[in-house]
Amino acid sequence: MTNAIDFATLKMMLIQHGEQTIRDFAITPQNKDVYAFVLDAQASYGVVNFKWNTLEGFAYTRTFNSYKDYPDDRLYGHRGLKYSIGDFRFEDARNEKLEKWGMKYEEALEVLKDREEEEAEQAPNSFMAVLTEVIKELTPAFGQLHLTDDFIAYAVDHDEDHMKYLPETVAPAQLDKAFPELKAYEVYKAKLCKRLPVEQAEFWCQTLNDFVEGRESKAVTELRRFSRYSFDAEEELVKLGEVSVPILITFLERALGHLPVSTEGGNPRRAWNYQSVILEIAKAGESEINRLQAIYARQKSEHPEETNTKNTLRVLHAIDSKRFPE
């Protein structure tokens, strides 16, 4: 049971270590314009570190050869270099007590996996809950730091979307200051949602195609401003569901060069961009199933061993596993 894992001790140690870390940094010349403070964790292993950055630290990172030519959409926003935790300039000193706690936690998880699988799955959630509580407890200590107006403090699990726990410790108004593109993107999508579902699917399919082909269309340019990319278009298509499938199949046919007339020609390397979305939707009408069967029959005849051929069968299997066993 997870109550056998001593989360209370973890919380106490993290608060103490966090307060000391903040005190130590507060008296340094680098204590200027701190814009983010993060508890960076691997919840499945009990590993956690404090990391933070300043505007000066971010400016320094931008001078690296790897980053100096980055466009704004790769520098800023919630997915940009500015909030890439692995590129933060500052982190806490090693803490042996926390390391030992992490080792015991990992051992306890291994035991739970053998005895209480459900409890083992819950443990990382409990771990992250402690981290969000610690961030809240450290709020008074942040007063020792020279903070930017859009400062945010949050916890991150390497195995999850880095935005997942952010709303638990960052107020909505502060979130808007740090990442105004989040609300702007929701407004943008709200306008699209006024269209018929099939029109939305057409928009997102074409936009996905623009992204994967490197075409700087109006939609791509707008979405980059919101720190949105091809996988966001894929996500919207999955949300729309089955209505997206006929259009995705058309783009798949085009990528494979199966259409009688195609102004762009085929690009088989792009096939998975469309196959993967249909695979995730895993629903299709009989007409679309017939189209996929025709695609597979031609692929099997012309390129039986290619990955694209196998992936089309995977798509059919996801739609109807009995009719199309792998």
Q: Where are the domains of the chain?
A: 2-178, 185-319
**pLDDT attached to residue 259:** 81
User: Pairing between strand 147-157 and 34-42?
Assistant: parallel
Q: Residue 10's closest CA among 93, 92, 105?
A: 105
Q: How confident is the model at residue 1 (pLDDT cuts 50, 70, 90)?
A: very low
The contacts of residue 251 (CB under 8 Å, 6+ apart) are 205, 208, 209, 274
**Per-residue pLDDT tens for 3-19?**
578 999 999 999 999 99
Residue 169 has pLDDT above 70, yes or no: yes
User: Residue 117: what pLDDT?
Assistant: 73
Q: Is the pLDDT of residue 86 over 80?
A: yes
Bigger pLDDT: 193 vs 108: 193
pTM, two decimal places: 0.85
pLDDT digits (tens, 9 = 90+) for 207-238: 999 999 999 999 999 999 999 999 999 999 99
The pair phi, psi for residue 291, each rounded to 5°, is -65, -40
For the segment 37-47, what is each residue's pLDDT rounded down to a tens digit? 999 999 999 99
Model confidence at 97, pLDDT cuts 50, 70, 90, reads very high
Q: Is the pLDDT of residue 93 over 80?
A: yes
CA-to-CA distance for 43 and 131, rounded, in angstroms? 10
